[in-house]
């Protein structure tokens, strides 16, 4: 009998495991980029400055937002504590999982430095190496006894939820290196081949439950709109760049094909594909009816277009024309803004998206997060 099913049976006692029973995920193991990084980049390269984290944590908390991310809402809905970053040595508790994501991460390893491209050296394959080491060391720690209360129990790896939110930087990174949209498209098969390798590796380590996000509408992000040339005819009705959004949709189509392939090749896996693109684009296109203002306007930024400047980021300082130093702080009310710093979303936007994906409305198969352990 599968160890996870046996564990569930022990928990349920006299109840039977059926397709109507709410799943029990004792841990979450996350792989990704800044959209789900809860402290990896900050641990490796230094903490973000104020006003990051101001809305919820009331201080910088390793997240590139004013508050919580989708992954925070995911673990919170599962009644689990917020995930500690694998790279964070201070105050971390991995009993209920670990977060291997770092801001700027890509699926495919990069041949540029972080200083050159802004991309993280901790690509998905490195995160996979970290996970493999984490599994081995957790077993050793539990045998030795010292600090065993800080690492997952063995069944947590079999019964845990494995979440993936990565791929955006593979697309934008290519574009910023002056590749054409068609050239970036041509790289996608290799990118997804490496994604496939990692998912299969996690499956080989006993992982069974996968929650995979596709990539969002990159053509709506101010830092893309400001960095990359685009003309008026290439803008859609929401002022997003069609060529770049079409690239994201192409990536997502190929990712969904891969998920279907993995379902055939990994018979014991339960894989949920989550359409983050559709959820985020819906929010942007319906912003005002949903209580948001300035759909593409940046809350924490400085500049004329979108309140964003590629040279001065959130928390930075700029000297005005009259010689006065200006601190780049946040807007008056982040709860009515979608874009936080031109690259990332506000907590309010993340919460809006989470509330739409948690019930399965944007998932394939259309199952809720709490039912994502059942084979459809």
- Residue tagged active-site, from 96, 213, 344, 363: 344
Annotated catalytic, 79?
no
Compute φ and ψ for 312, nearest 5 degrees.
-130, 110
- For residue 144, the enclosing domain spans 3-290+350-359
- Residue tagged active-site, from 33, 275, 341, 363: 341
What residues contact residue 115 under an 8 Å CB cut-off, 6+ apart?
none
Judge whether 56 lies within some domain: yes
Judge whether 310 lies within some domain: no
Residue (of 60, 65, 30, 67) closest to 45 by Cα position: 60
Judge whether 329 lies within some domain: no
Query: Over the stretch 204-247, which tens digit does the pLDDT of each residue have?
Result: 999 999 999 999 999 999 999 999 989 999 999 999 999 999 99
Judge whether 283 lies within some domain: yes
Packing angle of the helix pair 168-176, 242-265 (nearest 10 deg): 140
Task: Tell me what pLDDT residue 18 has.
Answer: 52
Query: Over the stretch 165-210, which tens digit does the pLDDT of each residue have?
Result: 999 999 999 999 999 999 999 999 999 999 999 999 999 999 999 9
Judge whether 376 lies within some domain: no
| pTM (predicted TM-score) | 0.94
Judge whether 33 lies within some domain: yes
Of 27-41, 237-251, 275-289, 314-328, the poorest mean pLDDT is in: 314-328
Task: Tell me what pLDDT residue 300 has.
Answer: 98
Judge whether 309 lies within some domain: no
DSSP string, 306-371: TT-BTTB-TT-EEE-TTS-EEE----S-GGG-SBSSSSSB-HHHHHHHHHHHTTTTTEES---GGG
Annotated catalytic, 364?
no
Domain total in the chain? 1
- Indicate which CATH number applies to the domain containing 155: 3.40.50.1110
Annotated catalytic, 187?
no
Judge whether 345 lies within some domain: no
For residue 4, pLDDT over 90 is answered with no
- Residue tagged active-site, from 33, 34, 65, 170: 34
């Amino acid at each position: 009998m599968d160890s996870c099913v046996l564990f569930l049976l022990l928990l349920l006692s006299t109840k039977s495991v059926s397709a109507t029973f709410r799943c029990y995920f004792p841990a979450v193991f996350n792989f990704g980029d800044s959209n789900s990084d809860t402290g990896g980049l900050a641990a490796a390269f230094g903490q973000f400055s104020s006003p990051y984290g101001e809305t919820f944590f009331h201080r910088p908390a390793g997240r590139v937002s004013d508050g919580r991310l989708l992954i925070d809402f995911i673990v919170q809905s599962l009644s689990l504590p917020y995930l500690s970053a694998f790279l964070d040595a201070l105050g971390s508790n991995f009993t209920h999982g670990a977060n291997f994501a770092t801001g700027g991460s890509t699926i495919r390893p990069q041949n540029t430095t972080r200083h050159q491209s802004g991309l993280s050296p901790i690509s998905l394959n490195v995160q996979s190496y970290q996970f493999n080491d984490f599994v081995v060391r957790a077993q050793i720690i539990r045998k030795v006894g010292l600090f065993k209360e800080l690492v997952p129990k063995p069944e947590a790896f079999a019964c845990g939820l494995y979440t993936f939110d990565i791929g955006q930087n593979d697309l934008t990174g290519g574009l910023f290196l002056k590749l054409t949209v068609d050239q970036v498209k041509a790289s996608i098969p290799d990118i997804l081949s490496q994604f496939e390798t990692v998912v299969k590796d996690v499956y080989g380590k006993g992982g069974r439950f996968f929650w995979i996000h596709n990539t969002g509408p990159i053509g709506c992000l101010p830092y893309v709109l400001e960095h990359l040339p685009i003309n008026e005819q290439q803008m859609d009705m929401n002022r997003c760049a069609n060529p770049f959004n079409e690239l994201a949709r192409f990536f997502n189509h190929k990712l969904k094909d891969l998920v279907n392939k993995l379902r055939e090749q990994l018979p014991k896996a339960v894989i949920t594909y989550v359409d983050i693109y559709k959820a985020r684009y819906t929010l942007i296109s319906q912003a005002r009816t949903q209580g948001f203002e300035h759909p593409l306007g940046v809350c924490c930024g400085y500049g004329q277009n979108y309140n964003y400047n590629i040279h001065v980021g959130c928390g930075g300082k700029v000297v005005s024309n009259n010689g006065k130093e200006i601190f780049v702080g946040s807007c008056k009310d982040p709860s009515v803004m979608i874009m936080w710093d031109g690259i990332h979303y506000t907590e309010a936007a993340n919460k809006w998206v989470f509330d739409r994906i948690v019930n399965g409305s944007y998932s394939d198969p259309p199952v809720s997060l709490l039912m994502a352990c059942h084979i459809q």
